[in-house]
Amino acid sequence: MPVIEASGLTKRFRIADKQPGLRGSLRHLVRPRHVEHVAVDGVDLSISSGEAVAYVGPNGAGKSTTVKLLTGILHPTAGRVRVCGLDPHRDRHANARNIGVLFGQRSQLWWDLQVRDSLALLRDIHRIPRARYAARLEEFDALLGLGRLLPVVARQLSLGQRMRADLAAALLHAPPVVFLDEPTIGLDIVARQAVRDFLRAQRASGTTVLMTTHDIGDIEQVCRRLVIIDGGRIIFDGSIDAVRRLVADQRTVHLTLGADWHGDLDADLPGVRLVHDGSARQIAVTFDHGAYGAGEIVSVVARRAPVVDIRIDEPSIEDVVRRAYAGELSPSVPA
């Protein structure tokens, strides 16, 4: 049964259409003009209990806005949304019991309180019985090293420590559904891994997770389904297994060249995909390894430019995301 359901979910923002400079500001004061910006454009989404979904897209795609609509922070301009059967905006209080929310860029801890006091306040807000609260703190200590952080004032926490404390705060009441907006942003590799391991443990215990991220490791390690949004619209929705199958036959050869590369390879090697890999002397060629061998690709390239270095990559989820952003994938794949 779906615990998160959205149909035709749309959010339009009305923004000031103002010319730059003082003159523009004055003109806007006298005759204000506005334009509409569609941040989320008819999103349909159905997420079942226990699913772990990566909600991915380029900057400005509409990810955070979707999370704000699903958590009731924003009201949709059009469309319908239900989380555990509730309208998250209208039934905000009841909805708060069912969901945990973490915005990686912003803390929900009380800035001047010790972590312990913030958690105790949340315990009272959620009316968590003392024994359950103590057990939860123990669990978070084992998974996140929370014990060390309890006496620290929130504003004195490092980013990694703050994210651990924020995760504990968001999941203290053991909500069945968790929304995470970039939970690993800015973290070092140790802290990032701790967050991923923690989220995997939550997923294993049946919590439904929807998480936005720009980090491929988060997707691979935490999630079982990938939903990609661009320009406010869902452009891809499929299981991670299906995504892996989609690229299983592909290889990418990265070549460093001794001269700038111009043009494509279509005439010599039909069906391969060539992209510049950062500069005119770095190219990446993706090919079906049933159709070509890497040696064939390298020798064709070498006829046009000296090859200095070669690296061959197995296919990755990153390739799928890149291809989706480039509009090269159909919106859904069979499960």
The binding site for ligand ATP (CB under 6 A) comprises 13, 15, 37, 39, 57, 59-65
Sheet hosting strand 208-212, strand order edge to edge: 99-103, 177-181, 208-212, 52-56, 225-230, 233-239
DSSP 114: B
In whole angstroms, how close is the CB of 62 to ligand ATP at the nearest point?
4
Q: How far is the CB of 293 from ligand ATP (least distance, A)?
A: 38
Q: How far apart are CA 201 and CA 193, in angstroms?
A: 12
Is 65 or 286 the residue whose CB approaches ligand ATP more closely? Answer: 65
Rounded to the nearest whole angstrom, what is the least distance from the CB of residue 37 to ligand ATP in the complex?
5
CB 174 within 8 A of CB 205: no
Q: What minimum distance in Å lies between the beta carbon of 234 and ligand ATP?
A: 12
115: which residues sit within 8 A by CB, 6+ positions away? Answer: 109, 146, 149, 150, 151, 152, 153, 154, 157, 165, 168
DSSP bridge pairs for 282: 256
Map residue 46 onto helix, strand or coil: strand
**6 vs 241: CA distance, rounded Å:** 24
Considering beta carbons, is residue 49 or 77 the nearer one to ligand ATP?
A: 77
Q: How far is the CB of 83 from ligand ATP (least distance, A)?
A: 18
* 61 versus 168: smaller Cβ distance to ligand ATP: 61
CB of 222 to ligand ATP, least distance (A): 18
Q: How far apart are CA 49 and CA 177, in angstroms?
A: 8
Nearer to ligand ATP, 38 or 113 (CB): 38
Handedness of CA 186, 191, 197, 198 (dihedral sign): negative
**Cα separation, 257 vs 254, whole angstroms:** 10
Residue 15 or 312: which CB sits closer to ligand ATP? 15
Nearer to ligand ATP, 146 or 317 (CB): 317
